[in-house]
Amino acid sequence: MLSQAVMTYLALRRATGFALRCEGFQLKSFAAFSEARAKRYVSSAIAIEWAGLARSVSQRARRLGTVIRFARYLRAEDERHEVPPAIFGVEKPPRPTPYILTPEQIRQLIDAASRSGYRTFRRPTYSTLFSLLACTGLRVSEARRLRYDDITPDGLVIRKTKFRKSRLVPLHETAQAGLERYLQQRRPYAPFDDHVFVSSRGKPLRLVDVDKAFRAVVKQIGLPHGLGRERPTPHSLRHAFTVRALQTCPDGRDAITQHMLALSTYLGHSKVAYTYWYLEAVPDLMRDIAERTEHFATGGRL
């Protein structure tokens, strides 16, 4: 039965670190849809019919893509399973161009955060949070979930975040000092909660709180939209960190490979391709690559 095959498939994928929450729900729905039509094996026609029930083309593409991966897994041992064609197009649209903040813009953002809103604990919270994102490249979700115990002499312990992986993020001595200054104010403010960053209500920060605070300081300093009309978000601080790290990459094929692998691990990327994406997403980096390639092609040495 397809329902049993779905459970086996999900167990295998989850054992390798994938959460598959939405995909699991979808595959169970697909299996029930197929079995209601007396289908014991994956049928392309049934899969397309099921995926077509979604409201938008992008949703249909994602649903069908989930079944395609499932069908490939099953077909490896039983050719009676059909692998549907991806008739609804690609599952994921191209990644948007990142908004890269300059060092001066980051300084303005942090300064504005330290003066934004009422004279409450909100000011040191967001100025410290944005500073930490800018100097470490953490995801906003990772910074929001930090606890006191995650701050160690060796750096920040980022526990089982995306893809259920944990990692250690070293801190520069100036970042350690800034974080400690904040914690001296933070500890007595909400003594019964051990989250590093809390709201003015003494509760863990919500993503909507961070977005709202970031938009306020962006408006305050008048940051423009990007060329593609992209707007700065808290995640832009992570983008800016990554680009700065890539710009410090040393010359030489082996050195570049080691640098990219180390940066990918540091950022918590599941694939190094996600780190390489910044090379094509940022015009300045593409221009540097073109210049070095031309230098090499005309007889220079990298």
Average pLDDT over residues 105-115: 94
* Burial class, 56, CB count within 10 angstroms (exposed 0-12 / middle 13-18 / buried 19+): exposed
**Set 69, 235, 244, 259: catalytic member:** 235
**Set 62, 63, 238, 239: catalytic member:** 238
Q: What is the pLDDT of residue 155?
A: 92
**Set 139, 144, 195, 239: catalytic member:** 139
235 is catalytic: yes
- Give the tokens for residue 98: 């990142």
How far apart CA 18 and CA 26 sit, in angstroms, is 15
238 is catalytic: yes
Contact predicate 43/31, CB 8 Å? no
172 is catalytic: no
201 is catalytic: no
**Set 115, 160, 162, 203: catalytic member:** 162
Apex 18 CA angle, 37 and 261, nearest 5: 140
**Greatest mean pLDDT among 8-12, 158-162, 228-232, 271-275:** 8-12
229 is catalytic: no
- Which is more confidently placed, 259 or 196? 196
What pTM was computed for the model?
A: 0.69
253 is catalytic: no
Amino acid at 178: G
How far apart CA 256 and CA 237 sit, in angstroms, is 23
- For 215-258, how does the pLDDT look when each residue is reduced to its tens digit (9 = 90+)? 999 999 998 876 655 789 999 999 889 888 887 777 666 777 77
CA dihedral 166, 168, 174, 180 (to 10 degrees): 60
Give the other-Cβ count within 10 Å of 4's Cβ: 9
According to DSSP H, which parts of the chain are helical?
2-15, 21-35, 44-51, 57-75, 103-113, 122-136, 140-144, 173-189, 207-221, 236-247, 253-267, 272-281, 283-297
